[in-house]
Amino acid sequence: MTADARAPRLLQGNEACALGAVAGGCRFFAGYPITPSSEIAERLSEEMPRVGGVFIQMEDEIASMGAVLGASLGGAKAMTATSGPGFSLKQENLGYAAMAEIPCVIVNVMRGGPSTGMPTRPSQGDVMQSRWGTHGDHPVIVLAPASVGEVYELTVRAFNLSETYRVPVIVLYDEVVAHLLETTVLPAPETLTLSERKAPLKGTSGFRPYAETEDGVPPMARFGDGFRTHTTGLTHGEDGFPTQKPSTVRRVMGRILGKVERHRDAIECYEAVACDDADVLVVAFGITSRAARRAVKLARNEGIRAGLLRPITLWPFPERALREMAGKAKGILVPEMNAGQLCLEVERIVGGGKVVRLDRFDGEVITPEEILECLRRMS
């Protein structure tokens, strides 16, 4: 990227995602066009060849996710992008990535659902699917940007987290953020810190691809590097070979399931706005958090002590911060563009007694005025 390209520029959310992927080291993209994420693939079809990477338009979403896993096993930082229906199709292979500990990034630009739903309208209906979409217990990290600049920043971070912890990372944002045009200044590439997966030492004998390590993340050998590995979606031992021996499964799965929680302090991220003295706390993410930010400002002007907690890592959810802020507040408002998915998590953490829902799932965004009216009633 030239110096001129780093000047303030008008950038679309999906375009920022594509540029963030390249800056984060992505050199393989496989995907299938789907509204409202298609601009990511379009831009990467141009950018990948320029950096020596590979772009493949696959025959469907299932194959796209499979190709991403194969590329990652070969040593490439790999990504795919989709929307709700395609995200559903990727879930089996996403579970394979979690079990086999294959680094990968999945971008899900949310649209109205279920089924084909409203392809061109915004939604935040994939909150729970992003965490629990594939079957079984599994580790995953979900990042939720709220601006064009943050889409770029969190796409870079998604690759860093995925490579560091050998875990699928999902970048989750809505159609409005995807197609939003904002003046953005991108950081110089040389200022970015990029993470690489931990590799085994050359000449290591008795290599165990899923060995217990001090940080809970085993080294990952690339195919062709000369290490004997076995990769499977079955429960396996440290050698990678299938097993159903309870003691082995408990130990290996305990490590896999505990990776994210073990490193929560390094992963978890949130933004707090005017929360120190807030009587009413708003919990919102994505485009809804921007409406909430405006509503909090307007409420403060009216003497209502409102604050905003915006989870940036949607999963793991910033539980400790929410508990601390909720302990000071009289009420909690959760505005979201679905039928109450995020509210369920908030209620789980703080109890449902003082949690108020503000849902919208008709393809329109929640406005600052709607949130402000709720804050007035709650104050």
Q: In this predicted model, which residue has the larger pLDDT, 297 or 352?
A: 297
Q: Answer whether residue 229 is part of any domain.
A: no
Instruction: Return the number of other C-beta atoms located less than 10 Å from residue 202's C-beta.
Output: 8
- Write the pLDDT tens digit of every residue in 194-207: 999 999 987 767 89
Q: Which of 151, 173, 191 is the last residue of a domain?
A: 191
**What CA–CA distance (Å, rounded) separates 373 from 306?**
12
User: Can you tell me the distance from the alpha carbon of 140 to that of 163, in angstroms, rounded to the nearest whole number?
Assistant: 13
- In tens, the pLDDT along 22-75 reads 999 999 999 999 999 999 999 999 999 999 999 999 999 999 999 999 999 999
CATH number at residue 12: 3.40.50.970
Q: Which range marks the domain in which residue 355 is found? A: 271-378
Q: Are 158 and 278 contained in the same domain?
A: no
Quote the percentage of the chain above a pLDDT of 70: 98
Number of domains in the chain: 2
Torsion of CA 74, 97, 216, 261, to 10 degrees: 140
Distance CA 95, CA 185 (A): 36
Q: Could you report the per-residue pLDDT of 322-340, keeping only the tens digit for each?
A: 999 999 999 999 999 999 9
Q: What is the pLDDT of residues 239-293, one digit of tens each?
A: 999 999 999 999 999 999 999 999 999 999 999 999 999 999 999 999 999 999 9
Domain boundary among 128, 156, 191: 191
Lowest-pLDDT choice from 41-50, 106-115, 222-231, 352-361? 222-231
CB 122 within 8 A of CB 337: yes
Q: Which two tokens stand for residue 348?
A: 């789980």
Report the chain's mean pLDDT, rounded to a whole number: 96
The token duo for 202 is 């050359």
How many angstroms separate the CA atoms of 6 and 247, rounded? 54
Question: CA–CA separation, 245 vs 55, rounded Å?
Answer: 41
Using 50, 70 and 90 to split pLDDT, how confident is the model at 3?
very low
Question: pLDDT category, 223, cuts 50, 70, 90?
Answer: confident
CATH number of the domain residue 309 falls in: 3.40.50.920
The candidate with the shortest Cα–Cα distance to 145, out of 108, 184, 122, 172, is 172
Whether residues 276 and 177 share a domain: the answer is no
75 DSSP assignment: T
